[in-house]
Structure 1
């Protein structure tokens, strides 16, 4: 549960930071981008831990009142959330590794830990790196939009079960 909420809070913070970055003063942009990267890589690490935890500790069963369609939707949504929680930071890491300015802009995770870019990408010729940079930026953006939509559906589904169906969904997630 702690991993769930830590990942959720970090993702929401990263969404806000990503959307606000264009409106920040120029001298704040690098800090905002580096914080965005730090949050993304932290989410990736926590997602690995969460997946390992989930394999060792299966979640409680869904309430009996769920219809077969709701059960399928819940499982499909959770699987898609896991895919996106991994796809976003990985696509961002690839995008960043292909960035033409990567060599002159070292990145420190949370301003402390030197972060390694993907050597196989940084060693490519500039034209190939630029193509990878543009392609994976587009993937990163589309994954983000998919996450926003799925996150909204996830939240609305929980609220529907809590308030419309009268199930103890929020208590189940917060206890």
Structure 2
């Protein structure tokens, strides 16, 4: 039976509520076994095991990460089923992250967008975007500057790494099929 707009909205909100509860198993319950998970922190994660590690690390580093449900706007498409959610997130870098960021104790407040593509009533692709540069500045690990040359250099490095990671992940995924 095809998913309705109400089903898609309900699924999206349930996933964000599971994030707010820091319930890794609940988040994973909405994902397909071979989910492709892309977000600025770790691009091209494949499968629930990789996402489990990522979420566990995120909740360790940001034990108070929160998406105020009242700030989430949801847009749906029925065929093929997909959800776009715009959101606000807050949190504090007060725990160790595997990526090696120093624990600064600084808080963040960012806006972002998540695209969830569903298949067989599960999220098969999860793509999140947000201003990584602004996040790193708020956390105190990047200097707060508006100098264009500096921002362009950092963003070029981030985008190059992201492109390399995406291509590698998609090649691996294609080989598995």
Q: Structure 1 length normalisation: TM-score?
A: 0.29
- Higher share of residues assigned strand: 2
- Greater Cα radius of gyration, structure 1 or 2: 1
Structure (1/2) with the larger helix percentage:
1
For normalisation by structure 2, the TM-score amounts to 0.29
